[in-house]
């Protein structure tokens, strides 16, 4: 802020300030930072209206942070028309294409990013492209390269945390705990790893310690994802009033993000399907599906909302399509299994539920036990 104000004619300074506000929004869960970022990028373009690729990339980054991915893609392409050698812009383009379900184009974009700059950001994106396609071995190799290439504590923590996530989704609880612990050792302020450790503690029966970690995470950074996980564990342990309090905060926080221009339809669709009103979940899911019909996580959320609303015949083909890339996800497999069971396809339901519980038998405090009970009834 001081640098930009002391050199108001420098467009790069305003762009850097905008990016700092986007980053601060992520770190603090404060959606008002989006408006400050928007103003900074606009100031940069006011100073240099033409060929200002840094400001365009910043605007693309802001649009992606707000989950407005079509807009992010348009702005990234505009920036690349000015400067086709910016790896950061290709990173934003990769993210936008991935979230829009254009996976082949995303793979090409991330390869271009790797060609321009091999670093934590490009390697992590390449890892996710492989994870989406079910190649967990290659995804892990790339994340290990990212961890080795990282120097800043936050970058080390980022790579180690996602190594923990890969292990978690494969049912390797020890590997998951090791990844989260390594992330926290590198950067104690990297709160996703604290929530990850809580997830493992809950799965291994250390509920009190898990709740303490979750409480610390939400107190330091009230991210909706942390709040949902805390509420889920509270509900699973019979503390339903306390869980409802967390869920109320989730709704309020997501509405604040929506008021700041963020698209939270996908997140609210899944949340309401699991913890709220099925009709509300379906309304949000339809909106998300209308804008991103080819994205596998959106397809999964739409199918799950349809199921919760009692429209299982309509949900089943969408749930099957959500797994077409080969993503190894216990949650997606559970959703498919529950939907298949509801339409009476017992064989498909048993197969999907078995896959979910084989991948990670403790993938969720509420849904994993339900998957076991449903599989038992089907068997």
pLDDT digit string, tens, across residues 202-229: 999 999 999 999 999 999 999 999 999 9
CB 72 within 8 A of CB 96: yes
Q: Considering all CA atoms of the chain, what is the largest pairwise distance in Å, rounded to the nearest integer?
A: 71
- Confidence (pLDDT) at 288: 98
d(C-alpha 41, C-alpha 36), whole Å: 9
Specify the DSSP class assigned to residue 50.
S
- Confidence (pLDDT) at 129: 98
Q: What is the mean pLDDT of residues 320-335?
A: 98
The torsion angle over the Cα atoms of residues 58, 217, 327 and 88, rounded to 10 degrees, is: 20
- Confidence (pLDDT) at 2: 93
Q: What is the mean pLDDT of residues 288-293?
A: 97
- Confidence (pLDDT) at 282: 98
Contacts of 371 (CB under 8 A, 6+ apart): 334, 337, 338, 353, 356, 357
- Confidence (pLDDT) at 29: 83
What are the angstrom distances between the C-alpha of 68 and each of 79, 95, 126, 255? 17, 11, 22, 16
Percent of the chain with pLDDT over 70: 100
- Residue 65's nearest CA partner among 14, 107, 12, 28 is 28
- Confidence (pLDDT) at 363: 97
- Residue 318's nearest CA partner among 345, 300, 334, 337 is 300
d(C-alpha 165, C-alpha 168), whole Å: 5
- Confidence (pLDDT) at 194: 98
pLDDT in tens, 34-45: 999 999 999 999
CB 280 within 8 A of CB 308: no
What are the angstrom distances between the C-alpha of 16 and each of 61, 106, 345? 12, 26, 54
pLDDT in tens, 79-137: 999 999 999 999 999 999 999 999 999 999 999 999 999 999 999 999 999 999 999 99
pLDDT in tens, 134-170: 999 999 999 999 999 999 999 999 999 999 999 999 9
Say yes or no to pLDDT of 171 above 90.
Answer: yes
- Confidence (pLDDT) at 26: 86
- Confidence (pLDDT) at 307: 98
Say yes or no to pLDDT of 275 above 90.
Answer: yes
**pTM for the whole structure:** 0.95
- Residue length of the chain: 379
Average pLDDT in the chain? 97
d(C-alpha 364, C-alpha 202), whole Å: 9
Q: Token match 């396609």: residue?
A: 133
CB 308 within 8 A of CB 116: no
- Confidence (pLDDT) at 28: 83
């Amino acid at each position: 802020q001081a640098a930009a104000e002391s050199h108001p004619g420098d467009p790069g300074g305003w762009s850097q300030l905008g990016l700092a506000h986007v980053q601060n929004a992520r770190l603090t869960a404060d959606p008002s930072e989006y408006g400050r970022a928007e103003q900074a990028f606009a100031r940069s373009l006011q100073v240099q209206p033409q060929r200002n690729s840094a400001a365009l990339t910043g605007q693309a980054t802001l649009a992606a942070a707000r989950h407005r991915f079509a807009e992010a893609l348009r702005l990234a392409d505009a920036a690349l028309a000015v400067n086709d050698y910016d790896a950061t812009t290709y990173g934003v383009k990769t993210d936008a294409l991935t979230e829009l379900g254009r996976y082949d184009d995303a793979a090409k974009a991330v390869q271009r990013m790797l060609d321009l700059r091999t670093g934590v950001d490009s390697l992590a994106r390449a890892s996710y492209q492989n994870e989406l396609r079910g190649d967990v071995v290659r995804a892990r190799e790339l994340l290990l390269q990212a961890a080795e290439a990282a120097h800043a504590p936050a970058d080390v923590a980022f790579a180690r945390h996602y190594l923990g996530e890969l292990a978690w989704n494969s049912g390797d609880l020890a590997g998951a705990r090791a990844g989260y612990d390594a992330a926290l050792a590198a950067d104690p302020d990297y709160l996703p790893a604290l929530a990850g450790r809580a997830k493992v503690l809950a799965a291994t029966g250390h509920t009190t310690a898990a709740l303490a970690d979750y409480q610390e995470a939400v107190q330091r950074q009230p991210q909706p994802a942390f709040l949902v996980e805390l509420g889920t564990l509270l509900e699973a342990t019979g503390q339903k009033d306390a869980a409802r309090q967390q869920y109320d905060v989730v709704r309020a926080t997501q509405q604040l993000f929506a008021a700041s221009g963020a698209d939270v339809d996908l997140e609210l669709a899944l949340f309401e399907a699991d913890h709220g009103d099925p009709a509300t979940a379906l309304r949000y899911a339809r909106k998300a599906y209308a804008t991103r019909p080819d994205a596998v996580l959106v397809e999964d959320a739409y199918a799950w909302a349809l199921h919760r609303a009692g429209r299982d015949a309509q949900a089943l083909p969408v749930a099957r399509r959500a797994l077409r890339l080969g993503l190894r996800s216990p949650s997606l497999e559970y959703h498919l299994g529950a939907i298949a069971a509801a339409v009476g396809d017992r064989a498909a339901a048993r197969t999907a539920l078995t896959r979910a519980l084989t991948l990670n038998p403790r993938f969720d405090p509420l849904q994993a036990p339900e998957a076991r009970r449903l599989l038992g009834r089907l068997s």
